[in-house]
Every structure is written in structure tokens, then in C-alpha cells.
Amino acid sequence: MLHIKYTDEIITTMKKFYETLSEKDRRRYAALEAMRLGYGGQKYICEILGCNPDTVKSGVEELRGEILLDEERIRKPGGGKKKVMDTVENIDEVFFEILRDHTAGSPMNEEIKWTNLTRVEISKAFKERGLNISEHVVKQLLEKHNFVDRKMQKAVTMKETKDRNEQFEKIQDLRQEYEKSENPIISIDVKKKRP
């Protein structure tokens, strides 16, 4: 269990600093931060900086002297393996197809949207379509398209209600019926939050 979590301000600063570094220095900086945090630090740093766990592992080995590198060699910009998001031709289209029936948004701010699918579920949906997309790449796609994590307000229902899902099933049936017509489909949340 990770005992230290950075503030949003520190995370923003870390990301900005990380982007200014060379490939070698990024690897070592990420490794240094992960080592400083201890158990769970590598996963946390990879999430913050958007780097691969293997990159951090290589950085740790370098810092410990297990791998010797030519100090003068720094890969030129554009070198190295291309990102999956840049190499898979229709990745955005497939991503939106997967999330089509699993996307919701804030009635108060149209720019805020989220999905009820987990990264694992989205990754599996990609695999079902013949694309091997990792959870790490799914996270990058969610960030690229401005999806946010939705914080649940209530984890457990207060009481059991008969036919709880009936209204949602009805909405889904109506949506499927109207999708066949040329009419627009509008979703309205009538529970307005008060300021």
C-alpha cells in the first residue's frame, strides 16, 4: 500500500518537468521517484507520468549501476518505438464505438464526460475486435478524449427495491427503437444541482 500521494499541484509540476527531459533523464527521473516512494511507487509514478513500467525498471537498473550506458548517447527526437495510439490506424473510431452506449456526462457542464466501463473492460473490448490494446493505452485514450473519473457518491444502496433496473431497461429499449428512426435522441437529467 502506497503511503505517500502527491497533490494535484505537484503532479502538474512533475509532468511539466518530465516533458522537458531527454529520454535517458526521463527514465532515471521516473525511477528515482518510484524508488523514493517504495512499495507501489512504480505503478503510481507510471500512472502520473504516463510511462511504461519497463522504462522505470530500466531506470532503476541504471541508477543502481546494473546497466552501464554511454553517457553521451541521447536518442534523437522521434527515435524509438512509436506509440500504439500513433500506429493503430482506426484506434479512435474503435474506442468511440466501444464507449457508444457506455458514455454519460454532467448535465451542468457539457465538457465533463465519463464511462461506466473500466480500463480492463475497454481493453477486452478492443481484443474482441482484433486489437491488442493495453490498459495503459486505454488510459491514454481516455485522457486524450477528455474522459474523467467519476466519483461515486453512494457505494451501497440504502434499501432493496423490486424491479430496480426496470426503468433503465425501458430506456435502453426505447433508445434502440428510436435509433432505427431518423429522430434525434436526447438524454436529460432532471435532478439539477443547486449552487
Q: Convert the pLDDT of each residue in 155-183 to its tens digit.
A: 555 666 677 678 778 878 887 887 787 77
pTM of the model: 0.44
Position 130 pLDDT exceeds 80: yes
CA angle 132-134-138, nearest 5°? 115
How many C-alpha atoms does 104 have within 13 Å on its Cβ side? 10
Average pLDDT over residues 139-166: 72
Residue 84 CA to residue 100 CA, distance in Å, equals 22
Give 114's DSSP letter. Answer: E
Q: Calculate mean pLDDT across residues 97-123.
A: 85
pLDDT of residue 64: 82
Q: Rounded distance, CA 116 to CA 4, Å?
A: 28
Q: Return the residue matching grid coordinates 503532479.
A: 11
Local confidence band at 110 (pLDDT 50, 70, 90 cut-offs)? confident
Share of the chain above pLDDT 70, in %: 78
Angle in degrees, CA 37, 42, 43, rounded to 5? 120
Residues sharing a CB contact under 8 Å with residue 116, sequence separation 6 or more, in sequence order = 102, 104, 150
According to DSSP, the β-strands at 103-105 and 113-115 are antiparallel
Element (H, E) at 14: helix 8-20
Cα–Cα distance for residue pair 29/153, rounded to 1 Å: 36
- At residue 43, does pLDDT exceed 80? yes
**Hey, is 115 helix, strand or coil?**
strand
The mean pLDDT of the chain is 79
Rounded Cα distance between 141 and 119, Å, is 10
pLDDT exceeds cutoff 80 at 187: no
Output the CA–CA distances (angstroms, integers) from residue 63 to 15, 34, 36, 76, 110, in the order listed.
21, 12, 12, 22, 46
Q: From its phi and psi, is residue 146 left (phi > 0), alpha (psi between -120 and 50) or beta?
A: left
